[in-house]
Chain A
Amino acid sequence: MGLITKLLFFPVTGPVAGIRWTLGKVQRVVEDELVDDTPIKQELMELQMLVELGDIDDEEYLQRESVLMQRLRDVREWRERLGMATAGGPVRVARESTKDE
């Protein structure tokens, strides 16, 4: 039945499935960007370098730093929303499964 259905509905299901797949992929890429803080940390280190070398002044540093901090917070929020692990915040030693508590 699967094959027949496919053949019968090919003109319809084909493109639709294709579009869905593309959307899914696009969404994945967008999500990956939303939840990845590595490029932000990289930028923070570069910014640090710029101020150390005297290429930018303190005022500009602080201003650009606050933009990066906001982006870090956004990433954290997305990660939380998508149920992913986040760095920072209160932690405790993970309970071992063998331990009774």
Chain B
Amino acid sequence: MTEPQAVRTDTPVLPQPGLTQPSVDGKYVYCIIRLDKPKDFGSVGIGGGQRVYTVHFRDLAAIVSDTPLVIYDPTREHVLAHEFVNETVMREFTVIPMSFGTVFRSEDDVTELLRSTYQAFSDVLDKMQDKIEFGLKVLWEREKVIANLERENDEIRRLKDEISRNTASSTYFARMQLGRLVEAALEGVQSRYVADIHEALKPVAVASRSNKVIGDRMIVNAAFLVDRTQEHAFDERVKEVSRRYEDLLTFKYTGPWPPYNFVNIKLKLEKAN
């Protein structure tokens, strides 16, 4: 269920043109946790297995690894490396994920981040305590859904029969009518599916968020915030609802993720060149 699988990058990251001389003093920040003593998370960092460790301010810690001062392209390799670290940390801690590619110039700058945003980080850590995120994308097989409609909807079936029997000019209007009917029915079916899926999962989630769908086959692109104690129940519900629509819909279920969709701290950051 957990995907994507982590793949580590072994290729050196080339500095982007327009940047100053790369040095390895930079710190790539993955996430913020509550921890007051140093901890090593192993050599799993971005840019070829850098050591992942903590930078502290009071009871907060930033999870970082050393990096040259570069811009990281959001390639799958890089994104997975970022994600793998967060997954590792998440096994033991509640995390506030940083957005991909956040690089600070020095350890002092990271400490400054923790100091200046201390209150906001602390509040969100309290709110997110023991909560994880799951992603759910649902795609439909349009042709199958239409076939299903033709079986269930008398009006559509009648029109279809009429069209297949007639070759005369009346079929033109029948076809137009059929097209409109199918479109309207599809819309209705789609919103029924979406509502049904949300209804099934809402009782076992703390919160949910709908994102923009990707591509033309997707009807649901949602994130759910789930309490760790409800993880199993949520899992079961997803399986249940996906069985219900086995032939018509494809469920892409991912997680647990850090609560990317439910944490919104706007950091006041500026370029440091």
Contact = CB atoms under 8 A, between A and B. Distances in A.
Interface of A: 41-42, 44-46, 48-50, 52-53, 61, 65, 69, 72-73, 76-77, 80, 86-95
A65 B218 CA distance: 21
A20 B116 CA distance: 49
A95 B112 CA distance: 10
Contacts of B250: 53
A86 B273 CA distance: 13
Contact of A73 (B16, B116, B139, B218): B16
B67 to A, nearest CB: 9
Nearest to B250: A53
* Chain A contact surface mostly: helix
Contact of A91 (B70, B76, B103): B103
B166 interface: no
Contact of B76 (A48, A49, A80, A87): A48
A92 B269 CA distance: 5
Contacts of B101: 87-88
Given A46-B215, A77-B17, A77-B18, A90 B73 contact: no
Contact of B16 (A49, A89, A91, A92): A89
Given A73-B16, A87-B101, A88-B72, A93 B214 contact: no
Given A45-B214, A52-B252, A76-B16, A93 B116 contact: yes
Nearest to B15: A89
A43 B76 CA distance: 13
Given A46-B214, A73-B16, A80-B18, A92 B105 contact: yes
Contacts, number: 80
Contacts of A94: 268-270
B102 to A, nearest CB: 7
B147 to A, nearest CB: 20
B19 A69 contact: no
18 contacts: A41-B74, A49-B214, A52-B252, A69-B73, A88-B103, A89-B19, A89-B70, A89-B273, A90-B103, A90-B105, A90-B273, A92-B112, A92-B272, A93-B109, A93-B112, A93-B116, A93-B117, A94-B270
A76 B74 CA distance: 13
Nearest to A88: B71
Contacts of A48: 76
